[in-house]
Amino acid sequence: MKRIAIVLSVLFLIGMSVSAMAAEKVLLQYNPAPGTTTKYKMNINGNTVVTAMQRAQKTNLETNMSLEQKVTGVDKNGNIEMTTTITEGTITVNEQPTQLPAIGQIIKVKMAKNGEVIESEGMDQQANFNQMQIKFPATPVGVGDTWDSTIAANPQMPIPLKVKYTVLGFETVDGQECVKLGSSVVSEQGDTGSINLNVKADGKIWFAHKTGIMVKNEVVSNMVMVMENDLGGGKKEKIDTRMNLTLKMGIVK
């Protein structure tokens, strides 16, 4: 479960028709109106292979989750107060489903318009909202523009991650005009003592810039983690873990 949480933290990072829109620059901000409630479904599918003592064990994983986000207030500076609730979910390991333990948990966040988390409450180690938010640039962006962000090391991801965002275009998703962003995540340093960790993830995000909400998110991630266990007597055991996951998340009516 800890290995799953490592990737989910990178990741928790989020019907389509193309719209012929003129090239333009837009200011990306989270600015949904008070009372706005958005429901999402998330699916994470993939596998992990753990090799130790020259033996490999493959595990197939699938997580399905329903989330509800509600804007409870906006202060005079435009900072957003929002709750996120996991309303239902299961994790399936080798075709054996188990209910997610976090069902009903409420995460409270106060967030600036650019995505920076100011305050948070009710978050456990597997639901670190701060690590998953996109932090938008302060100036308007157009097709081809890029910006970088860094996700600091945390208990689930002991190394920092560098994220590069690119504006790919404008599209309409489920009736909402969206900026389509490409995201690329790489680990900044792979070696942290007894753990060597390399992460790579590429994704696409559809952000409704007029209503200020994320509409759709798709991410493909790959992780390689090599650990050394000290068995005593000068003996060490090498454990190689490889995880490949695909995340899909979108609004549901």
Q: What is the pLDDT of residues 57-104, one digit of tens each?
A: 999 999 999 999 999 999 998 999 999 999 999 999 999 999 988 888
3-state SS assignment for residue 2 = helix
Domains of the chain with bracketed CATH = 2-252 (2.30.230)
pLDDT at 15 over 80: no
User: 179 or 117: whose pLDDT is higher?
Assistant: 179
196-217: per-residue pLDDT in tens? Answer: 888 999 999 999 999 999 999 9
Using only C-alpha atoms, what is the Rg of the chain?
19
Give pLDDT, residue 2.
54
Query: Residues for the chain: how many in total?
Result: 253
**pLDDT value of residue 105:** 86
- pLDDT score, position 48: 95
Cα distance from N-terminal residue to C-terminal residue, the chain: 31
CA 59 to chain centre: 22
Asked if residue 97 lies in contact with residue 88, where contact means CB atoms within 8 angstroms, the answer is no
Token output for 29: 């901000």
User: Cα(207)–Cα(79) distance, rounded to whole angstroms?
Assistant: 18
pLDDT at 11 exceeding the cut of 60: no
pLDDT band at residue 194, thresholds of 50, 70 and 90? low
pLDDT tens digits for 69-82? 999 999 998 999 99
How far lies 4's CA from each of 92, 183, 205, 237, in Å? 12, 21, 22, 21
Residue 112: phi and psi, rounded to 5, are: -75, 165
Per-residue pLDDT, 230: 73
What local confidence, expressed as pLDDT, does residue 196 receive? 82
- For residue range 170-185, list pLDDT tens digits in order: 999 989 999 999 999 9
% pLDDT > 90, the chain:
57
| Residue 35 confidence (pLDDT) | 93
Q: How many CB atoms lie within 10 A of CB 119?
A: 10
**Claim: this prediction has a pTM higher than 0.85:** no
Confidence tier at 124 by pLDDT (50, 70, 90): low
At residue 128, the pLDDT reads 46
20 has pLDDT over 90: no
- Give residue-wise pLDDT tens across range 127-166: 445 455 788 999 999 999 999 988 877 666 777 889 999 9
pLDDT confidence bin for 241, thresholds 50/70/90: very high
Band (248; pLDDT cuts 50, 70, 90) = very high
